Amino acid sequence: MEVVIVPDVAAGGELIAEAMARLLRRKPDALLGVATGSTPLPVYRALTAKVRAGDVDISRARIAQLDEYVGLPAEHPESYRSVLRREVLEPLGIGMEAFLGPDGTAEDVQAACEAYDTGLARAGGVDLQLLGIGTDGHIGFNEPCSSLASRTRIKTLTEQTRADNARFFDGDVDQVPHHVITQGIGTILEARHLVLLATGEGKADAVAATVEGPLAAVCPASALQLHPHATVVADEAAASKLKLADYFRYTFVNKPEWQGI
């Protein structure tokens, strides 16, 4: 696992956007896995700036969704499909025909989960999956003690998670769905490159457990230790509890520039 410590979230966004741009220059029809939330927004803004400046052609790129609410209509403004359309697809000029996501309104949710895993495989697999991390080490909606071999499946949201997400639903927790579809950890690990972005002191314990702690289901993100090409990008605050922080800084400064992340 490579750990890159950046001065702030803007620098992290630029670094990851450049990794996406390099991938797209090499493979124009790459499948990019994206996450929702505030953390990845600087990545999307930086990539959009590169596209608009003509630094990279994204016309053949494809976008894959990490998770989705169950029972929320796709056109609902807070469905993750709608959020990603606003924050990723439209700014980048990518149409919905290039978008892959699970059907959160399906009558048979389990079949929808299995269909999404199959769809990702038929699309050739995710080339680069962007991840955030929860304060408890969760990735996607894989909460602590999720199976490290789990596939795309339905998960029940905790009351705390529903309360946290109520701000997107006019502060009304009763509007927040109880269930989500999420790529499982086993599904996530099939992406060719995993890039986790963490910012803020509140993520410091989770980052330390992910990078330097044992491989354990209690910290789902620690599964990145199993991946042959995983990159953790953390700002100074999120990296503040890493014992090997100086080593990570040294190796990144001294790696070949052409190697990227």
The pLDDT value given to residue 127? 98
As a whole number of angstroms, the distance between CA 253 and CA 8 comes to 16
**Residues labelled as active-site residues:** 67, 136, 138, 143
Strands 128-131 and 31-34: parallel
**Beta-bridge partner residues of 4:** 233
Tens-binned pLDDT, residue by residue, of the chain (261 aa):
999 999 999 999 999 999 999 999 999 999 999 999 899 999 999 999 999 999 999 999 999 999 999 999 999 999 999 999 999 999 999 999 999 999 999 999 999 999 999 999 999 999 999 999 999 999 999 999 999 999 999 999 888 888 888 999 999 999 999 999 999 999 999 999 999 999 999 999 999 999 999 999 999 999 999 999 999 999 999 999 999 999 999 999 999 988 899
The pLDDT value given to residue 258? 87
CA-based nearest residue to 212, from 137, 146, 156, 149 = 137
* 3-state DSSP assignment of residue 231: strand
Q: Which residue has the tokens 């014992």?
A: 243
What's the angle, vertex CA 80, arms to CA 187 and CA 15, rounded to 5?
70
Is the overall model pTM greater than 0.85, yes or no?
yes
The pLDDT value given to residue 170? 93
Between helix 41-52 and helix 9-26 the angle, nearest 10°, is 50
As a whole number of angstroms, the distance between CA 9 and CA 43 comes to 9
Take residue 67 and report the two structure tokens written for it: 């998770």
